[in-house]
Structures are given as C-alpha cells and as structure tokens.
Structure 1
Amino acid sequence: MTRRELDAAGIDDPRLRSDYLRCRALNARHGRTYFLATRLLPPARRPAVHALYGFARWADDIVDDLAGTARPADREAALTRLDTALRDGLAAGRAGEEPVVRAVADTARRYAIDPAHFTDFMASMRSDLQVTDYADLPALRRYMHGSAEVIGLQMLPVLGHVVPREEAEPHAAALGVAFQMTNFLRDVGEDLDRGRIYLPADLLAAHRADRALLRWSRATGRPDRRITAVLREFAHLTRCVYREALPGIPMLDPVARPCIRTASVLYGGILTAVERDGWSVLHRRSAVPTAVRACVALDGLVRVGAARARAAGTRRRGHVAVREAA
C-alpha cells in the first residue's frame, strides 16, 4: 500500500521514498485520528500529508519530549538546526541529513506551499521554549497562528479547492485552530507537567481558578467545580471555532472532503469524550470510543466511494464531449 501511494505521487528517488515512509510512520504512531482520516485521501496526496505531519511532529518532539532530558539551550540549538535545514531545503534544495526535512521540503516544492507558513510555525515552536501561559484568547490566537492556522494553510494546496484560495483559507486556518484547541483541552494535565498552560489566564480568573489550583487538582486527583467551569467554557469556544471551519469543507476538492469531514468529526468527538468523562482531563486522557471511530470511518469510506464515482462520471462525460467535438 505504501509503495502504491509513493508511485501514485510520482516519488521515484529511493532516498526520498524512504524519507516519506519515515514521515508516514510518525503519523501512524502519533497521530491516530489524523492518520485514519488521511487514509480517505486519494493515494497520490497521502505522502504530502504525512510529510507535513511528520515535520510538525518532529519539531514538537524537540520542544516537548526532550523537555525532561535536555536543557533549554540544547532544545533551542536543536530547533535552530532544524530551522536552518528547513530553510536550506526550501530555498535551495539542500535539506541535509534529516529525513522529515527532506520530505517536507519536497512536498513544499511540489505543492508550491508558501515558505512563510513554515517560518511562522517555527516561531511558535520557539515560543514554547519560553512562554508558559497566555493572558487572554487573543494572545493564544496569535500563538496558534503559527502552531495551528498555518498547518491548515499548508494542507489546502494538497487537498485542492474548488473556490479561489483566498476564500477557502480562513476556514482551513480555523480548522487547524479547532484541532489544536481540542488538543489543548484534552492535554491540560500533560501540558501542566511541562510547565505550560494554554487555557487563557483571564478565562481562569473569571472562574476564580489559577495555576496553583490546577496543580493541586493534578497532584491530588481531586476535581474542582471552578476548573470544570473553565473547561466547559473552553470547550464551548472550541466548538465555535469548529463552526467557523465547517463552511470550508464544501470548498475543497470533492475527493478530499471525506478526509477532512472525518477528521473534523473525530476531533470534535474528543470534546464529547472529555465531557463524558466528567471534565477529568487533569487526571486522565479522554478518547473517542473505538466503535464510534469505526462508524465515522465507515461513513467516510462511503463518502469517498461516492465522490470518486462522481469524479469518474465527470471524466467520462468530458471524454465523450471531446470525442463528439472532434
């Protein structure tokens, strides 16, 4: 199956094929929901999505997974090396020895992805080394421009669109934000362990909560109604962003719509899971039940089949029209 994807995408160089496979493995291992949705794309477009995810994951791992084993200066140096390799790869095709950088640089060239999106992404990754909380939602949104909005913007040329790009971009950016806000809600406890709070400080204060209260709840395993109120409101804000993103799905290439619809439903389902679990994100990680994931995936497969049948019918009608005109 992976060979078919690479062949369909026209990726022939052996080393580059290996680079893309590395990214695919990262997606399969760390991005279960994202990977499942990606399976609904036409094979030719999947490697590019894996490359974008793999690079984002690699940078995120430098910031997060090394946080307990490396000094801040070491993580800063690792990000600088990654950024330098990426800039070289985007500008001159010299992506160095890192497989995920070679793959993402190749994807950026194939799909003419704006290099500024990667610059903004790396800026947000650097801020995670120093910034540990956000005063309000506008401050958090400025961070999420680089960490989430640009991911949606990078994806847009890969997915394809049937409206002018500038019309589809705000919705693509909003979906990236909705996904990240969902992750923030699900991972409150894990982020707190890393010293970071993505729940805006003014939202916490409005419900008489703060970092100390979150730490107390995390340490004792005891819930608190003030924290629950914060989480409820943040979930409501997240659902509002999903509604901003929703009109963008019909703007995509029809064969890409089932993928993004499935990802949106599954990620939105995490919010439902958090509520179902009693807003206990400081004490456990909520997940969409396997049966629900299977039903959503099946619906996506049905939509894929219908979209591809319509596309094939359109191509056949086009061929007939050409023959008749001739």
Structure 2
Amino acid sequence: MSTVEEAYEHCALVTKEQARNFYYGIRLLPPDKRSALCAVYALARIVDDIGDGDLPPEAKLQGLADIRKSLGDLSASTDPVYVAVADAARRYPIPLGAFEELLDGVEMDVTGREYVRFEDLVEYCRCVAGSVGRLCLGVFGSKPEPEAPTYADELGIALQQTNILRDIREDLLNGRVYLPKEDLDKFGVELKVGEDGRLADDGGGLTALVHFSAARARDWYARGLKLVPSLDRRSAACCAAMSGIYRTLLDRIDEQPSLVFDRRLSLSGREKAVVAVRALTGIGR
C-alpha cells in the first residue's frame, strides 16, 4: 500500500510525463495545491487512457464502470492515484461528482456518439473538459463568486474545442469526428484523408470551417476567463498559463489552418514557458 506521500509522488510523475500543457500551469501553484491537482489529473488520465486504448468496447465500458465503483469508496482503494485523490478531497472542496461526468463523456467516445448540432458537442465538451475545469476550481478555491463553477466549465469547453481543431486528422484516422454535422454541411466539408496523408480541403471549405470554429471557441474563452479575477494570484497564474497555451495554439491554427491537415500541432517547450512566465508576472494576453 502506498503512503499518501508516495501516492502524490506517483501522481506528480504521471502528470509531468503525460500532461505537457497542463504541467506548465501546475508548476506555478504552491506545493500543496500542485500535489492535489496532480492527483486530479492522474485519475482523469486513467479515465482517458481507457477511452483511447486498444481494448474492445465492452472491456472499456467495464473499466469505466469499475472506476465509478471505486469513486464510491475511495478510502477502500490501495491504488496510489485513488489514495492521493482521497486525501486531496479531504483537504479541498473537490467536486468528485465531476469525475462521473468525465466518465459519461468518455463513454460517448466508446459508444461512438454522433454530433449533429453544436449543442451536442457542447454537452460532450462539458463532460470531458468542463468537468476538469470544475475539479481544478475545487483545488484553486475562489473569492465569493456564484458564477465561478460556470466560468470554470466554460473555460474547459473552450480548451476542448481547441483540442478538437488540433486533432481533426488524428481523430478521423481513429474513426472519430467531433466537428458537428451541421457545421460540416454548412461549409460543404467531407472529412477525408488524401493519398498524400493530408486532410482534403476541396474548395477551401475545411479552412473556412476552421476559421469559423476558432472564432466561436474564442467566445467561450472570453466567458471562461472571467474566472481568473476571482482566484488568488498563484491559482490565477496557473489558470492563465494553461488557457494561454491553448489560446496561443488556437491562434496559430486560425492563422494557418493547413498546419493541422497533416500533423498534430503543438507549441515548443520554450513557447509554453514564455506563456507561463507571462501568466505569473501578470503580463498575460
């Protein structure tokens, strides 16, 4: 059985190795909050890995059901991630029910849900990313602000929309399409990968759709970032750094949509560090 300290060390290692964007923001937090957020991330990672893994759908659904059961009694588990999450939840008002929503979202991936309208996509984004925003808020804490959970939710939805634009090609190759059908139809886009390995952009429809989607995502960032003034300085810096990395990525995609037609675009370590420093010093964009 892991001690609490060992459990947190395990979660920190998982976060450092697998959360390249998330970790740049987490490093700006004081140690206790940083450890708690690493625990939150590590459990979210377990959920995501089930959804993205190679197991058959039935096995994935069983794995998600097992996590739901474990969430019902965290104290009974000896797994280091659950040990850390249980301790973090004792120290901070972490809304553990948000993990249930994350599980709901990953189940949508497993069962292959179709997103006809943008509202359908928002529901998915709220489950897989808005939930994480609210989990983070439980660790951050905030000044009295009744809308804080809503802002955290909206910021998570903005980040997920950025992920979707970045990963159009990769998702398509994995048999998933997150761009709403109504948007694809509006711009006359049939998502397909050509013989050259690039996403087809017949007539520039996909480019136009990316511009449209990026503008819509910015509206969600504008609403979600209303959360920042209600946070303490270090938590605000963490939030601004994580969102700043994704907003910079969104800007780059919007400036040149073709960058995501043949690759999974990312920022360099130096670029992420610059965003984090600006967030900490209050120079954020």
Q: Provide structure 2 residue ranges, at least 5 long, that are not aligned to the other structure.
A: none
Does 2:55 match 1:55? no
Q: Which of 270, 282, 300 matches 2:261?
A: 282
Helix, strand or coil: the match of 2:7?
A: helix
Cα distance in structure 2, aligned partners of 1:217 and 1:170? 41
Helix, strand or coil: the match of 1:255?
A: helix
Helix, strand or coil: the match of 2:234?
A: coil
Query: 2:157 maps to what in 1?
Result: 177
Does 2:142 match 1:193? no
Query: 1:257 maps to what in 2?
Result: 236
Deviates most, 269-278 or 52-61: 269-278
Give the deviation of 1:138 after TM superposition.
0.6
Q: Which of 40, 49, 58 matches 1:73?
A: 58
Q: Which of 235, 250, 253 matches 1:271?
A: 250
Does 2:26 match 1:38? yes
Query: 1:232 maps to what in 2?
Result: 211
Query: 2:70 maps to what in 1?
Result: 85
Larger radius of gyration: 1
Does 2:102 match 1:114? no
8 Å contact kept, 2:155–2:221: yes
Helix, strand or coil: the match of 1:24?
A: helix
Query: 1:315 maps to what in 2?
Result: none
Q: Pick closer, same or farther for the CA change 1:279–1:235 going to 2, 3 Å.
A: farther
Give the deviation of 1:303 after TM superposition.
4.4
Describe the superposition over 1:150-181 as per-residue Cα deviations: whole angstroms up to 9, x where unpaired: 211111121121123x2211111111111111
Give the deviation of 1:116 after TM superposition.
2.4
Deviates most, 144-153 or 46-55: 144-153
8 Å contact kept, 2:117–2:181: yes
Deviates most, 107-116 or 234-243: 107-116
Q: Which has the higher contact order (CA 8 A, sep 6+)?
A: 2
Give the TM-score normalised by the residue count of structure 2.
0.91
Does 2:137 match 1:156? yes
Does 2:277 match 1:292? no
Query: 1:19 maps to what in 2?
Result: 7
Helix, strand or coil: the match of 1:41?
A: coil
Kindly provide the amino acid, as one letter, of the partner of residue 295 in structure 1. V
8 Å contact kept, 2:11–2:38: yes
8 Å contact kept, 1:221–1:283: yes
Describe the superposition over 1:260-319 as per-residue Cα deviations: whole angstroms up to 9, x where unpaired: 111111110111222344433231111224443232222234349xxxxxxxxxxxxxxx
Kindly provide the amino acid, as one letter, of the partner of residue 273 in structure 2. A
Q: Provide structure 1 residue ranges, at least 5 long, that are not aligned to the other structure.
A: 1-12, 305-326
Cα distance in structure 2, aligned partners of 1:28 and 1:100? 14
Q: Pick closer, same or farther for the CA change 1:218–1:111 going to 2, 3 Å.
A: farther
Query: 1:139 maps to what in 2?
Result: 120
Kindly provide the amino acid, as one letter, of the partner of residue 188 in structure 1. I
Cα distance in structure 1, aligned partners of 2:240 and 2:199? 36
Describe the superposition over 1:115-162 as per-residue Cα deviations: whole angstroms up to 9, x where unpaired: 322222211121211124301111111122221112111111211211
Q: Pick closer, same or farther for the CA change 1:115–1:185 going to 2, 3 Å.
A: same
Percentage of identical aligned residues: 31
8 Å contact kept, 1:223–1:280: no
Q: Which of 106, 113, 119 matches 1:125?
A: 106
Give the TM-score normalised by the residue count of structure 1.
0.80
Describe the superposition over 1:177-203 as per-residue Cα deviations: whole angstroms up to 9, x where unpaired: 111111111111121122111111101
Cα distance in structure 1, aligned partners of 2:234 and 2:16? 22
Q: Pick closer, same or farther for the CA change 1:280–1:255 going to 2, 3 Å.
A: closer
8 Å contact kept, 1:273–1:286: no
| Count of residues in correspondence between the two structures | 281
8 Å contact kept, 2:115–2:181: yes
Root-mean-square deviation (Å)? 2.1
Q: Pick closer, same or farther for the CA change 1:206–1:264 going to 2, 3 Å.
A: same
Describe the superposition over 1:72-120 as per-residue Cα deviations: whole angstroms up to 9, x where unpaired: 111112222222112221xxx21x2432222223222321323322222
Cα distance in structure 1, aligned partners of 2:129 and 2:64? 18
